[in-house]
Amino acid sequence: MMIQIRRSLLILVLAAAALAACSNGDEAEKCMTTNDAARQGLVTRMHQSADALPWPVTLVKQYPGEPSAVLSPSPVPNNTDDTNPEQPYSWSFPMWVLLPSGVTAAQATDAFNQDWRKQGFAVTERATGSVQAKDSDGYVYVTKTSVQGGVSLNLGSPCFPKSQLDESGSWPDRIESNG
């Protein structure tokens, strides 16, 4: 069961990174943000996503009762040329969505989907049940349902030059919605 969770998380992170990737070419000029703005934008959007749901939710890094199901923010290279100090990087920021009793993963995924469409995001529904969206600022949103029925939300930032990458900042362990 834990292998399935880990595999699902890896797929989730890679999907968000691929969607957030900047195009190749003169990458330094195509980067859309800075490291600090990307991180702040992700935290802000994570709060907004939780608040947009019609029920109160809590977003957490660790899935309850599964000590090895921990999601962590990570920097993601947008190509394989790690020799270029200006190659584009993005942040991936995943969290588990803890739903109130009686709310299913499918209902949560549908609520995210409806909110993103209402905001005018480009939305893609996958046969796997995941939903991916991209806002006009280049942030990517991905929902995924685990084999246990848990829902994760992963946000990917627009890219920034690798030379700005700073992993020293902190990320929230828990976000409570205002719902």
pLDDT recorded at residue 31: 66
Measured N-to-C along each axis, helices 105-118 and 35-52 cross at an angle, to the nearest 10 degrees, of: 120
| Burial tier of 123 (Cβ tally within 10 Å: 0-12, 13-18, 19+) | middle
pLDDT recorded at residue 174: 96
Backbone phi and psi for residue 115, each to the nearest 5 degrees, phi listed first: -65, -45
In angstroms, the Cα distances linking 161 to 36, 66, 75, 88, 171 are 11, 35, 11, 5, 20
Contacts with 95 (C-beta within 8 Å, 6 or more apart), sequence order: 46, 59, 60, 61, 71, 152, 153, 154, 175
In angstroms, the Cα distances linking 162 to 41, 43, 91 are 18, 20, 11
pLDDT recorded at residue 17: 41
Residue 96 · residue 60 · CB < 8 Å? yes
Could you list the mean pLDDT of each consecutive 10-residue stretch along the chain, which spans 179 residues?
Answer: 45 41 45 90 96 95 86 88 80 95 93 95 87 94 87 95 90 91
Backbone phi and psi for residue 106, each to the nearest 5 degrees, phi listed first: -65, -40
d(CA 176, CA 93): 16
d(CA 12, CA 14): 6
Backbone phi and psi for residue 95, each to the nearest 5 degrees, phi listed first: -150, 150
| Residues spanned by the domain of 133 | 2-176
Whether pTM > 0.85 for this model: the answer is no
Q: Which spans in the chain are helix H?
A: 2-20, 27-30, 35-52, 105-118
- How many separate domains does the chain show? 1
